[in-house]
Amino acid sequence: MRYFTHDFVGEIALHGVGKARVITYKVLFMPPRFESELPFRTYLRLRVEGEIADVPVRGAWMPVGDGRRYFIVSPDVKANTGLDVGDEVEMRFRIDDQDYVDVPAALQAALNQDELALAQWARLTAGKKRMFTNHVMSAKTTPTEQRRVDEAMVAIKDGITLRDLQKRKQ
């Protein structure tokens, strides 16, 4: 049995997300044939793990309003392959654990040192956990990462979102 159960060749495209402020991503659009093969009725955003041009990736097939689905091509793919928008690339993938969350070491260390926060963390959905981890992982410097860990810890302990925390500070 193959480790990756699905594969296809597609073109890397640009896709804009958002209304008031559009953010553009490099993406692969899912071939229509997978729509009936994969459990999108159960999981609107189906998490998968795989490879794009032999570079390991983990993420989700995200829905577009027109019925298509896309997967964000990480900067690692370009850095490791030189491939960019307009290039054809092979993607292999399999359905991932839908509750998987990659917790940054700094956030995990902070959680491990605070029993209240760790208990609150355990009660969060995987999606809410990913919101906090993405906030921390997107930091480019160590001081920013630490500030974001501190923000996440306050929000987790208070049972609020990061957006609510920002509103509270204003």
Residue 62: which CATH number? 2.40.30.100
Which of 95, 126, 150 is the last residue in one of the domains?
A: 95
C-alpha angle 10-11-15 in degrees, rounded to nearest 5: 115
Q: Which two tokens stand for residue 111?
A: 């959680």
Domain count, the chain: 2
- Residue 61: pLDDT above 70? yes
Q: Do 44 and 115 sit in the same domain of this protein?
A: no
Mean pLDDT across the stretch 25-40? 94
113 with 107: CB under 8 angstroms?
A: no
Q: Which two tokens stand for residue 140?
A: 């480019």
Q: What is the pLDDT of residue 161?
A: 83
User: What is the rounded average pLDDT for all residues in the chain?
Assistant: 92
- Residue 65: pLDDT above 90? no
Task: Give the pLDDT confidence of 111-151 residue by residue, as tens digits.
Answer: 999 999 999 999 999 989 999 999 999 889 999 999 999 99
Q: Do 75 and 141 sit in the same domain of this protein?
A: no
Q: What is the pLDDT of residue 93?
A: 97
- Asked whether residue 100 is domain-assigned, the answer is no
CA dihedral angle for residue 92, residue 140, residue 147, residue 138, rounded to 10 degrees: -20
Specify the pTM.
0.76
157 with 117: CB under 8 angstroms?
A: yes
- Residue 1: pLDDT above 70? no
Name beta bridge partners: 71.
28
Q: Do 72 and 114 sit in the same domain of this protein?
A: no
Mean pLDDT across the stretch 8-23? 91
